[in-house]
Chain A
C-alpha cells in the first residue's frame, strides 16, 4: 500500500455530529498536512502538523499525529453541510526535504442537513 492512506474512504454523518478521518503512512516525515477539496475544484490547505507535534487545533479542526504508529487523525467537530468535501492527508517525507508531498486517496465526507 502507498504513503498517505485515508480511512474510511467514505463517511456520511448528520449535521452537528463529529467526523473523524484517519491517515496512515509508511516513511519518516517532516510534517503531515490535511487538505480539503470540493467536488472538481482545487485543494485547500487546512492544517499542518510537524513531526515533533502531537496535536494541533484550528477552529473546529483537531489533528493528532502519532509518529510511532505512523498515523494521523482529523476531527471535525459540530459538522455542517458546508463541510461536505473530500479530505486528503499529505506527507512530506524526510528523504525529499520538502520537494514533494505524497497524497492519499482521500475520504469523501457527506454531511446531511
Chain B
C-alpha cells in the first residue's frame, strides 16, 4: 500500500461542503484511476488519466471533478454531494493503460460519508 497513498483516510461532509481527495503514487506509473466502491456493488471506474490527460470518464456526475496536475498526483474535487455518494473511494495506478499486462496498484482508500 505504501506505493499509492490517499488522504484523507476518512471524510465526513455535508451536502453543501466542498472537499478534495488526494492520491499520490510513488511507483513511476503513467496512468491513474479513481474508483468508487459501494456496499454490495462491484468497483465502479470513475476516471482514468494517462500521462496527465483524461482518457476515460465513465459518465460520472459533475459534482465529482478530477484533476491530474502531473503523473504522480491525482485529485478528486467534491461539491454538493448527495448521501448516495457515501462510499469508499479508491485510487489506483498502473504503468500505462494501453499495455496488455496492466496490473493496478491501489491506495488504501478514502471512506466518505455524506450527511
Q: Are A105 and B48 in contact (CB under 8 A)?
A: no
Question: Dominant SS at the B interface?
Answer: loop
Find chain A residues with CB under 8 A from B105 CB. Answer: 45
21 CB contacts below 8 A, A to B, read A31-B101, A40-B88, A40-B109, A42-B108, A42-B109, A43-B43, A43-B90, A45-B106, A88-B42, A97-B97, A97-B98, A97-B100, A98-B98, A98-B99, A99-B48, A100-B97, A101-B45, A101-B102, A101-B104, A102-B45, A104-B42
B1 beta carbon closer than 8 Å to chain A: yes
**Contact code string B39-72 (vs A, CB < 8 Å = 1, else 0):** 0111101001010000110000000000000000
A interface residue numbers (CB < 8 A to B) = 2, 4, 30-31, 33, 35, 40-45, 48, 50, 88, 92, 97-106
Cβ of B81 < 8 Å from any Cβ of A? no
Which one of A41, A43, A103 has the greatest number of beta carbons of chain B within 10 Å?
Answer: A43
Q: Which residues of B contact A98 (CB under 8 A)?
A: 96-100, 102
- 18 additional A-B residue pairs with CB within 8 Å, beyond A33-B103, A102-B42, A102-B45: A2-B42, A4-B42, A31-B101, A40-B109, A41-B1, A42-B106, A42-B109, A45-B104, A45-B105, A48-B101, A50-B101, A92-B100, A98-B96, A98-B98, A101-B45, A101-B104, A103-B43, A106-B42
CB closest chain-B residue, reference A46: B103
